[in-house]
C-alpha cells in the first residue's frame, strides 16, 4: 500500500480486466490502474476473496474525494477460476453487466505455478498447467475479440516469469506455459495492430509480456524458510539490483505498458526482474 498515491488520470474512462487481482502482483496492478482513473474487473478463484478486490474502492476513493472525474470509476470483483472452461464467458458476461461490454486493458496475471518432479508428473498436473497458463488466456482473448469488446488501441499484457529463461526441473510445465504466453503476445501483436481487416475494430492494440523475477508476494513469503532461502540464493546474485522485488515494482512496469506512452511497444518481452533477466 506504500505506493498508493494520487496520479495523473490518464486512464479515466477505460476498463481493465485483471485476472488474479485479489492479492500480490495482481492487486498492485489493480491499484496502479485504478489510481489513474481506470475501472477494474478483477477476478479471483473464490467468492470468499471478492471483498479483497472491491475493498480497493475505499482505498482509491479516499485519494480522490474532491475529484468528480473519479465518480464513475469503480472496481468490481468476480469469481472466475482459471481452471474452469467457462472462465472466459464469465468474464465477458460480467463486462456486459458492469461496464457496458467494453474492455481497454487485459492483464493475464493469474497462473498455475505448481511444482512437479520430472519422472513423476501426472496427467492432471500437466493439464492444469496448460489450461491455466495457456488455454484460459487464449479463450479469454478469443471471447473478448469475438464479442468485439476490445477498443481501439487496447492493451494486452501477459505476466510471464524468469522461469521461462532460468529453468528449474521442478517447474517444467510452468516454464513451458510462460514461454508459450510470450509467444501468444507476439502473435496477438501482429494480428491486432491494424494490419488485419478482421480486427480493425481494435486497431492499434498492443500485446506484450512482462517477465517477473523473485517478488515478495504472499505466496512466495509463505514458502518454507529453506525453500525461500534457496530462491534468494538462486535469483538475487544474478540481479543487477540485489533485492527481492515488490509487487509495486512490477505494477509500475505494467502500468507503463498500459499508458499511451507505450503505444509503440508491442510483441515484446519486458523484464521486470531487477536485471535478473537481461533481454535485448
User: At which residue does the C-alpha cell 479515466 appear?
Assistant: 12
Q: Mean of the per-residue pLDDT values for the chain? A: 95
Give me the mean pLDDT over the 133-151 stretch: 99
Q: How far, in Å, CA of 235 to CA of 242, rounded?
A: 9
Query: What pLDDT, on the 0 to 100 scale, is given for residue 109?
Result: 98
Q: Which fold has domain 15-215+246-271?
A: Rossmann fold (3.40.50)
Q: How far, in Å, CA of 94 to CA of 89, rounded?
A: 9
Give me the mean pLDDT over the 218-236 stretch: 93
Q: What is the DSSP letter of 193?
A: T
Quick one: what percent of the chain has pLDDT higher than 70?
98
How many CA atoms within 13 Å lie on the side-chain side of 260? 8
pLDDT tens column, 5-44: 889 999 999 999 999 999 999 999 999 999 999 999 999 9
Query: What pLDDT, on the 0 to 100 scale, is given for residue 65?
Result: 81
Residue (of 66, 5, 1) closest to 36 by Cα position:
5
pLDDT at 249 over 70: yes
Query: What pLDDT, on the 0 to 100 scale, is given for residue 62?
Result: 86
Q: What is the chain's Cα-based Rg?
A: 18
pLDDT tens column, 77-104: 999 999 999 999 999 999 999 999 999 9
Quick one: what percent of the chain has pLDDT higher than 90?
90
Q: Could you tell me which residues come within 8 angstroms of residue 4 by beta carbon, excluding any fewer than 6 positions away?
A: 31, 35, 59, 60, 63
Residue 72 confidence class, pLDDT cut points 50, 70, 90: low
pLDDT at 1 over 60: no
Q: Where are the domains of the chain?
A: 15-215+246-271
Interaxial angle between packed helices 172-192 and 123-130, expressed in degrees from 0 to 180 and rounded to the nearest 10:
30
pLDDT tens column, 9-18: 999 999 999 9
Query: What pLDDT, on the 0 to 100 scale, is given for residue 71?
Result: 65
Amino acid at each position: 500500500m506504500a505506493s498508493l498515491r494520487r496520479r495523473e488520470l490518464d486512464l479515466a474512462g477505460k476498463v481493465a480486466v485483471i485476472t488474479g487481482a485479489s492479492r500480490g502482483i495482481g492487486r498492485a496492478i489493480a491499484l496502479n490502474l485504478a489510481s489513474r482513473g481506470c475501472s477494474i474487473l478483477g477476478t479471483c478463484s473464490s467468492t470468499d476473496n471478492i471483498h479483497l478486490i472491491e475493498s480497493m474502492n475505499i482505498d482509491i476513493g479516499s485519494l480522490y474525494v474532491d475529484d468528480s472525474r473519479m465518480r464513475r470509476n469503480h472496481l468490481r470483483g468476480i469469481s472466475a477460476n482459471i481452471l474452469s472452461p467457462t472462465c472466459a464467458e464469465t468474464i465477458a458476461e460480467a463486462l456486459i453487466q458492469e461496464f457496458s461490454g467494453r474492455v481497454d486493458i487485459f492483464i493475464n496475471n493469474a497462473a498455475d505455478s505448481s511444482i512437479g518432479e520430472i519422472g513423476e508428473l501426472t496427467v492432471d498436473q500437466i493439464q492444469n498447467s496448460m489450461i491455466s497458463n495457456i488455454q484460459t488466456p487464449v479463450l479469454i482473448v478469443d471471447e473478448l475479440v469475438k464479442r468485439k469488446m476490445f477498443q481501439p488501441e487496447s492493451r494486452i499484457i501477459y505476466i510471464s516469469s524468469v522461469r521461462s529463461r532460468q529453468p528449474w526441473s521442478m517447474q517444467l510445465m510452468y516454464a513451458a506455459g510462460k514461454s508459450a504466453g510470450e509467444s501468444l503476445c507476439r502473435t496477438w501483436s501482429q494480428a491486432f495492430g491494424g494490419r488485419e481487416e478482421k480486427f480493425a475494430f481494435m486497431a492499434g492494440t498492443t500485446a506484450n509480456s512482462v517477465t517477473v523475477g523473485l517478488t515478495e508476494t504472499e505466496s512466495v513469503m509463505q514458502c518454507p524458510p529453506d525453500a525461500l532461502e534457496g530462491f534468494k540464493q538462486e535469483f538475487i546474485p544474478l540481479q543487477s539490483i540485489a533485492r527481492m522485488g515488490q509487487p509495486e515494482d512490477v505494477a509500475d512496469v505494467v502500468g507503463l505498458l498500459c499508458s499511451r506512452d507505450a503505444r509503440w511497444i508491442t510483441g515484446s518481452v519486458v523484464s521486470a526482474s531487477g536485471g535478473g533477466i537481461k533481454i535485448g
